[in-house]
Amino acid sequence: MKKLPKELYRYFWDIDPTKLDITKKDQYVISRVLQWGRMDDLRWLKTYYGKNKLMETLKQTRELSDKHVNFYVKIWGISPTEVLCLQPEFRRLHRQYWSH
């Protein structure tokens, strides 16, 4: 089982990071670090998972803030139409869920 580097434990406050299998839970790890990580953490993500995996996860995640998603869309040159959480239907449902 591949383990999470200790310097990233701070992003996984809701679980025991020593038991996290970063291969099996790759999308969870990537989403969490994309949302909260610093530049060094993002470099580790890119080195460990590769840019394609990061981009694939970004397109599917529901976990990132608009600010973070839009940042990665711009720097990686991804079309916003490819990103689930930027789609009007997703945004409408998300707002509806949190407004009740």
- Tens-binned pLDDT, residue by residue, of the chain (100 aa): 889 999 999 999 999 999 999 999 999 999 999 999 999 999 999 999 999 999 999 999 888 888 999 999 999 999 999 998 888 877 666 555 555 5
What the block records as the tokens of 72 is 């990665």
Neighbours of 15 (CB within 10 A): 13
pLDDT value of residue 58: 95
pTM of the predicted model as reported, rounded to 2 decimal places: 0.85
66-to-16, 60, 63, 92 alpha-carbon distances in Å? 27, 14, 10, 13
CA–CA separation, 93 and 39 (whole Å)? 32
DSSP 4: P
CA–CA separation, 85 and 46 (whole Å)? 21
